[in-house]
Amino acid sequence: MQDFFALPRHELEGLCERLELPLIHAKTLFRAVYKEGLKALSAPPSLPQRLRQTLEDGYACNEASIAKESCSRYDGTVKFLIRLSDGSLVESVLMPEKKRITLCISSQVGCAQACTFCYTGRMGLKRQMSAGEIVAQVWLASQWIAQHPEWLAERDFPSFTKLSNIVFMGMGEPLDNVQEVSRALHILSDPWGLNLALRKISVSTAGHLEGMAVLLKEFPDLSLALSLHATTERERSQLMPINRRWPIGEVLSFLRAHYETRAKDRSLLIQYTVIRGVNDGERHARELIELLVGLPVKVNLIPLNEVEPSRFQGPEPGSLEAFRDRLHEAGLRVMVRYSKGQDIEAACGQLVIKNTPSSDRADRALPS
């Protein structure tokens, strides 16, 4: 059986063509599955019998399901534990805000990058997620929102009834799985399906230069977030081994060249997790400013979430403010972002499947 969630609409149109049927049926099917939430592919009454039979014989939506959901008492954030069809578990996180509803999704089961402060990295890479599994997370969250109107009513956010933004910031390095992520982007942004504009989808990377080149060639206006976390090659290589393969200087040069060709309103999001005594000093602020010269950036400073006692700690409030002010005075757009869903371990850096034996040894979690 082929996974319907992994099929871009143009491939469905190819199927209609082979069956000598009008292409409109592909649109009808996309709308039924993604907008109306139907998983029975042959259900739409307007589909011709020949197409129904072909779908029944060869296609099905993958069986990813919500194994567990946890809702934050403080900010309404919902963490989903998603069981994939082979039993693997990943997490996605739904975050309601005044002006948007964002879903943070995973792209790999575990991660190969082994950043020293990250729980997910300590899991190692279990396997890649398919495009269909990536899309299924979004489909499941969309259905969950539709079935829980009280969730939004309680938050007093009457103007939003569906997902508006997607961030690839859950488990995994998305650009280590770039072909499947790219396929998923085509499906998620299809106007007959979930219709999420590419500008509303953000892919976060620890600095995977090869994957960036592939993805930005195909989706030049995609929003990109770069997890920086350190300001020198040596310090970044210690925190993030990926820096040994693709030094941050090379990554930023590539991005400078890319943004020179884009419209003025496109910008790169820099994620900088502030860790006490590691990257929160005056020197680090100065070096960060120098690193970002010539790039259209927004900087998010994320105080490290302390999940449990560890050698890494969140910053003192005073040093965080001083760091932010220093960047601000240099003319950078900077915000301090406090993670949501901390009481349900859904905040930045807390995504990990707890029954993974090696995760017990993790110092800190910070999926990129």
Angle ∠(224,109,267) on CA atoms, nearest 5: 5
- Confirm or reject binding of residue 111 to ligand SF4 (CB under 6 A): yes
Residue 149 CA, chain-centre distance (Å), reads 24
Assess 368 for contact with ligand SF4 (CB under 6 A): yes
Out of 13, 91, 133, 345, the active site residue is 91
Among 3, 133, 173, 345, binds ligand SF4 (CB under 6 A): 173
Residue among 113 and 359 whose Cβ is closer to ligand SF4: 113
Q: List helix spans (H) across the chain.
A: 9-18, 24-30, 49-58, 119-123, 131-147, 149-155, 178-188, 209-218, 233-239, 242-245, 248-260, 282-291, 317-329
- Catalytic site residue 56? no
Of the candidate residues 62, 72, 113, 243, the single one contacting ligand SF4 (CB under 6 A): 113
Least distance (Å) between residue 78 CB and ligand SF4: 21
- Which pair of structure tokens corresponds to residue 74? 């403080």
Nearer to ligand SF4, 152 or 225 (CB): 225
Residues 35, 70: Cα–Cα separation, whole Å: 25
Which residue's CB comes closest to ligand SF4? 121
- Judged by CB under 6 A, which stretch of 41-49, 110-118, 251-259, 356-364 contacts ligand SF4? 110-118
Q: How many residues does the chain have?
A: 368
- Cα 267 to Cα 208, 260, 263, 289, 301, distances in angstroms: 18, 11, 9, 16, 16
Contact 269, 297 (CB under 8 A): yes
Angstrom CA distances, 127 to 33, 92, 110, 291, 342, stand at 27, 17, 7, 34, 27
91 counts as catalytic: yes
91 binds ligand SF4 (CB under 6 A): no
Q: Binding string, 175-214, against ligand SF4, x = CB under 6 A?
A: -------------------------------x--------
* 345 contributes a contact to ligand SF4 by CB under 6 A: no
* Residues that bind ligand SF4 in the complex, under the rule CB under 6 A: 111, 113-115, 118, 120-121, 172-173, 206, 366-368
Residue positions annotated with a catalytic role: 91, 348
